[in-house]
A and B are shown apart, each in its own frame.
Chain A
Amino acid sequence: MTTFPFWSLAAENRELGLIAGVLIGFGFGFVLERAGFGRAQKLMGQFYGNDMTVLKVMFGAIVTAILGSVVLSGAGLMDLRAVADYATSETFLWPMVVAGFALGVGFVVSGYCPGTSVVAMASGKVDGLMTVVGVVVGQVAWTWIETVPAIARFQNSSNLGHVYLYELLHLPPRVGPAVVALAVVAIAIGAFLAAERIERALARPEQAPAPARGPARLVFAGFAAFAAVGLATLALPTGTAARPAAPAPLSPLDLARRVLDEPWKVRVVDLRPMAECAARRVPGSECVPADQLAKLHLADANGARDLVLVAGADLAAVPPAAAGYPGKVRALQGGFPAWEAFALRAPEPPAPGAAPEERELYRLRAGMAAAMTGVKAAPPPPMPSGDAPPPRKKGGGGCGG
């Protein structure tokens, strides 16, 4: 896979990823400073109408990032949905509305938001330092308050999962992001023009903003050009958007973990012939032979659960009947034989003194095999005495089938 993102924080290149994190943060801090976001009065102008820099910079950044990611994913270089699911939190509607309001109040009272307060602190502003301290105190203090049952209930209420604007508008997943991106561009340009008007109307005589129409036009033209490119990528019939891509593989180990730990987040569909599936299958899976897949009407199904397809061997392409599934589609790596080898045979116990991960894996596999075959495997050798943490209980819990 050569598509973005690079997943710089994957375990094998974590140190490099952390260096990249510092560099990206440097760019973030430098741009915020140059935009004037290290100065409370500059930020607060937004709320008194005389300086709408916050709106312009935020919307400008959002529009740039949306257009960039839509163009990259339209060209097949970026997996937009994967990045979005990883980079954003799930939607907790009411907690987010309340938190947004409280954060806006805190912003005007303190003069900074958590990010800009770091920039203000670094440029010597004592009020910025106080805000940084306040945010740390607030974050830590709330970890106690959020254990109060009533507050915990509210904080975890109205969880809609990962939901995006293009899904709320019921747009097809292939073009939805681009359509909403274009709408956001249009709204942003409207907001920019309105902001310019408000600034001119409310400008205080001693700080009349210098008219900067040249760069503004340039940026608008740039957005329009990018939007056109975004539209063009939609029209390309050969783009990855239209090609039935090979489904993302899911290893037997990952499937086992998901089936045992969070079975409510996966929908496992077994495409093998009915007799084979009826004999042996992944716990919780539906037996739907490949030729009957269309009967599930997957395009109209709820996409909240990941669809995992189990075939007799590796799946080369997503069947057309599953291609319209609104959620993520994964295929069991190696098909059912790989599952059989992984979960239905008693594993070799690890050697005494094996690494905790290896012991953990053995427990999981032994639990799977025992639950599904009814044959108990040998217990793992005793833990070496020391300060290693006790292994978490996994596997063998009531999901065997």
Chain B
Amino acid sequence: MERDPSKFWNPYLAGVALGLVLLTSFVVMGNGLGASGASLRIGVAALGAVAPSAVEQAPGLAKAWSHGHPFDFWLVFEVLGVALGGFVGAYTSGRLKGETLRAPGFPRGRRLLFALGGGVLMGAAARVGRGCTSGQALSGGAMLSAGSWAFMLSFFLGGYAVAYLVRRQWR
């Protein structure tokens, strides 16, 4: 296969493919796709390795800690698959490359700080909202859950609300 880093799948066909993956997940697992749930388990495992007492004191963490190993959870395995699939996809398309994506001239350090800060905000939001774009908007949306649709509309609204403020990061 020819490797062309600037070539992507047609977005509609990619959407159908993603929908089929999601449908397979519903049929085989009885569950939708997710991402942020695994982050908590990874965080709990990491924190538990250095400071077990801190994990036992936080009620939200103790729950994930006491039921067997924190990695004994299907979303952790699913996210492992996401990383593998992303790696293989990037390798076969020629997009596997160590770099920091940003607009030309935007400072690298500030970009990484933004990435970290945005991540922290999303991690907290995903707990308040019981899921992130994958679990809540995509999977819940496909099951026609009312809360998921409210979440999704609000998600795009939030994005558009601040897009202008951070535009120098991207263009």
Q: Which A residues are closer than 8 A to B by beta carbons?
A: 4-9, 17-36, 38-42, 44, 46-48, 52-53, 56-66, 68-69, 72, 78, 82-84, 86-93, 95-128, 130-147, 155, 160, 162-168, 177, 180-181, 184, 192, 212, 215-216, 219-220, 222
- Give Cα distance in the complex from A132 to B116, angstroms: 8
Residues in B lying within 8 Å of A, measured CB to CB: 8-36, 39-40, 42-44, 46-47, 58-61, 74-75, 77-90, 93, 95-102, 111-112, 114-134, 136-163, 166-167, 169-171
Residues on B with beta carbons closer than 8 Å to the beta carbon of A22: 77-78, 80-81, 84
Q: Are A31 and B163 in contact (CB under 8 A)?
A: no
Shortest beta-carbon contacts, A-B, top 7: A60-B15, A134-B119, A138-B123, A25-B81, A64-B19, A110-B118, A104-B158
Instruction: Find out whether the CB atom of A100 lies under 8 angstroms from the CB atom of B25.
Output: no
A95 and B128 within 8 A (CB): yes
The answer to whether residues A115 and B162 also contact, given A8-B29, A34-B9, A96-B150 and a CB cut-off of 8 A, is: no
A344 to B130 alpha-carbon distance, docked (Å): 40
Q: How far is the CA of A137 from the CA of B115 in the complex (A)?
A: 12
Question: A19 to chain B: which residues have CB within 8 Å?
Answer: 77
Q: Is A136 a contact of B43 with CB atoms below 8 Å?
A: yes
The answer on a CB contact under 8 Å between B133 and A114 is: yes
Distance of A394 from chain B, by nearest CB (Å): 17
Q: List 9 A-B contacts (CB under 8 A).
A: A21-B78, A25-B85, A95-B129, A111-B114, A115-B132, A115-B133, A127-B101, A164-B146, A216-B10
- Check if A7 sits within 8 Å of B30, measured CB to CB: yes
Chain B residues positioned under 8 Å from A86 (CB to CB): 30-31
Given A8-B30, A32-B86, A62-B138: A40 touches B13 (CB 8 Å cut-off): no
Q: Known pairs A134-B123, A139-B40, A143-B59. 10 more at Cβ < 8 A?
A: A21-B74, A58-B15, A65-B20, A87-B26, A87-B30, A90-B147, A134-B122, A143-B58, A192-B12, A219-B15
B130 lies within 8 A of A138 (CB):
no
**Complex Cα spacing A123 to B158, Å:** 27
Q: Is the CB of A96 within 8 A of B8?
A: no
If the complex has contacts A6-B27, A21-B77, are A107 and B159 also in contact, measured as CB distance less than 8 A? Answer: yes
Enumerate chain A residues within 8 angstroms of B95, measured Cβ to Cβ.
33, 38-39, 123
Question: Across the interface, do B132 and A118 meet the contact criterion of CB distance under 8 Å?
Answer: no
CB distance A28 to B127 under 8 Å? no
A2 CB to nearest B CB, Å:
12
How distant is the Cα of A222 from the Cα of B40 in the complex, in angstroms?
A: 38
A7 to chain B, nearest CB (A): 5
- Given contacts A103-B155, A142-B124, A160-B147, are A60 and B98 in contact (CB under 8 A)? no
For A38, what are the chain B residues with a Cβ–Cβ distance below 8 Å? Answer: 86, 89-90, 95
The distance from the CB of B128 to the nearest CB of chain A, in whole angstroms, is: 4
Instruction: Tell me which residues across on chain A come within 8 A of B115, comparing CB atoms.
Output: 110-112, 127-128, 130-131, 134
Tell me the bound Cα distance from A19 to B81 in angstroms: 9
Question: Cα distance A301–B60 when bound, in Å?
Answer: 35
Determine the chain B residues whose CB is within 8 A of the CB of A35 once the complex forms. 8-9, 11, 14-15, 18
A56 to B127, CA, bound (A): 26
State whether B163 touches A47 (Cβ < 8 A): yes
A31–B17 contact, CB under 8 A? yes
Query: Provided the pairs A5-B26, A20-B29, A28-B21 are in contact, do residues A121 and B83 lie with their beta carbons within 8 angstroms?
Result: yes
Give the docked Cα–Cα distance between A3 and B24 (Å).
14
Say yes or no: B18 contacts A61, CB within 8 Å: yes
Tell me, rounded to whole Å, the shortest Cβ–Cβ distance linking A398 to chain B.
25
Most buried by B among A52, A87, A128, A180: A87
CB nearest neighbor in B for A217: B12
Do residues A109 and B121 form an inter-chain contact, with CB atoms below 8 A? yes
What is the minimal beta-carbon distance from B94 to any residue of chain A, in angstroms? Answer: 10
B36 partner, pick from A61, A83, A135, beta carbons under 8 A: A135
How far does the Cβ of A51 sit from chain B's closest Cβ, in whole Å? 9
Residue of A at shortest CB range from B97? A124
Whether A64 pairs with B20 at a CB distance below 8 angstroms is yes
Structural contact, A88 and B40, CB atoms closer than 8 A: no
Evaluate contact between B85 and A29: CB separation under 8 angstroms: yes
Which B residues are CB-close (under 8 A) to A133?
116, 119
Nearest chain A CB to B153's CB is how many angstroms away? 7
Q: How far is the CA of A6 from the CA of B28 in the complex (A)?
A: 5
Of the candidates B33, B136, B155, the one whose C-beta lies within 8 Å of that of A24 is B33
Taking the closest CB of chain B, its distance from the CB of A193, in whole angstroms, is: 12
A residues near B33, Cβ cutoff 8 Å: 24-25, 28, 115
Q: Which one of A57, A123, A143 lies within 8 Å of B90 (CB-CB)? A: A123
Task: Give A303 to B152 CA distance when docked, in angstroms.
Answer: 26
B19 close to A62 (CB less than 8 A): yes
CB atoms of A104 and B123 under 8 A apart = no
Instruction: Give every chain B residue within 8 A of A84 (Cβ-Cβ).
Output: 143-145
CB-based nearest A residue for B66: A389
Contacts of A130 in B (CB 8 A): 112, 115-116, 119
